[in-house]
């Protein structure tokens, strides 16, 4: 199996390294930064153009910021899809609007090309250690066929339904993560204003019902002022925009999402777009 991987950012680079470690050594990569390409070449990958990836690869994997970038890479000028062959597959691991996912899948199907959407949760730390959670949309047979490949990067691979179901599930995930971070920020702010040590509050409640993966990852960052991104505000704003667009199209009420999006946008508009999404704690401090 020859694999092409496009999108070598915070998540993509370590994901490629884990694919290589997992025994899939015939891999072409494409990204914007020469230093990242050089680093991955040292690990065994080969830099390639869109055309080379489309013509040579059985599997094309994308890890890109949003729907427009995926559409451009696949169908723009010199896009990959025009070079792909019948029977090949796109595995899009980007977090995008499921409406766009279905549109991409339909265009590829017209060319005899398969697709599954497999967005991830876990951020940079889990991308590095290969324990991401994959939420997958596609036919049962395709998901089963490519689960071993996804498991080189993740601890969990769950099929959620047909194409588009993966990204719908990811939107649900992003609602829960964002609202958890906001609730944590609000709780720690209450403690601080009441004159109680926030660190002790965290230690007291982390083992109870309020404890969560979000709390374990983000409370220490908030308390230490660490804003190095595991997942950027800019990207979470993008995801919540997709939530709101999708919610409008299906008639779902999402008032909590609307509120946390306002807070995230405040941080984004105060030079915080590249900070970790836990930086919404700043809004409460302000």
Active site residues: 170
Query: What confidence tens digit (pLDDT) does each residue in 104-130 have?
Result: 999 999 999 999 999 999 888 899 999
Long-range contacts of 13-16 (CB under 8 A, 24+ apart): 13/39, 13/40, 14/124, 14/127, 14/128, 15/63, 15/93, 15/127, 15/132, 15/153, 16/40, 16/43, 16/45
Among 180, 159, 168, 178, which Cα is nearest to 252's?
Answer: 168
Residues 128 and 122: their CA atoms lie apart, in Å, by 10
Residues 117 and 82: their CA atoms lie apart, in Å, by 19
Instruction: Examine the pLDDT at 231 and tell me if it is beyond 90.
Output: no
Place of tokens 């047909």: 162
The whole-number average pLDDT for the span 192-217 is 97
* Annotation: CATH topology of 3-162: Rossmann fold (3.40.50)
243 contacts 99 by C-beta, under 8 angstroms: no
Query: What confidence tens digit (pLDDT) does each residue in 35-61 have?
Result: 999 999 999 999 999 999 999 999 999
All structural domains of the chain with their residue ranges: 3-162, 168-285
Q: What is the CATH number of domain 168-285?
A: 1.10.1040.10
Say what the pTM is: 0.89
Task: Name the band, by pLDDT with cuts 50, 70 and 90, for residue 230.
Answer: confident
Count CA atoms closer than 13 A to 227's CA, side-chain side: 13
């Amino acid at each position: 199996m020859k694999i092409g991987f496009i999108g070598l950012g915070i998540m993509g680079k370590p994901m490629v390294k884990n694919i290589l470690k997992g025994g899939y050594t015939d891999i072409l990569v494409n990204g914007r930064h020469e230093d990242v390409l050089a680093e991955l070449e040292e690990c065994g990958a080969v830099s390639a153009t869109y055309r080379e990836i489309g013509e040579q690869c059985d599997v094309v994997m994308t890890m890109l910021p949003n729907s427009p970038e995926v559409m451009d890479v696949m169908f723009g000028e010199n896009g990959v899809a025009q070079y792909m062959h019948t029977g090949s597959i796109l595995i899009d691991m980007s977090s995008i609007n499921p409406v766009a996912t279905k549109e991409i899948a339909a265009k590829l199907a017209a060319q005899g090309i398969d697709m599954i959407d497999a967005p991830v949760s876990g951020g940079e730390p889990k991308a590095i250690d290969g324990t991401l959670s994959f939420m997958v949309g596609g036919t049962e047979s395709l998901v089963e066929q490519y689960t071993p490949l996804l498991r080189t990067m993740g601890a969990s691979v769950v099929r959620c339904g047909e194409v588009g179901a993966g990204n719908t599930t990811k939107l649900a995930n992003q609602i829960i993560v964002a609202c958890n971070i906001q609730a944590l920020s609000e709780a720690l702010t209450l403690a601080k204003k009441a004159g109680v040590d926030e660190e002790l509050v965290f230690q007291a409640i982390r083992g109870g019902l309020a404890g969560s993966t979000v709390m374990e990852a983000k409370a220490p960052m908030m308390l230490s002022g660490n804003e190095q991104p595991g997942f950027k505000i800019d990207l979470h704003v993008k995801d919540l925009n997709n939530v709101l667009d999708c919610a409008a199209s299906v008639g779902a009420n999402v008032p909590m999402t609307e509120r946390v999006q306002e807070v995230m946008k405040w941080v984004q508009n105060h030079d915080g777009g590249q900070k970790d999404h836990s930086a919404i704690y700043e809004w409460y401090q302000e």
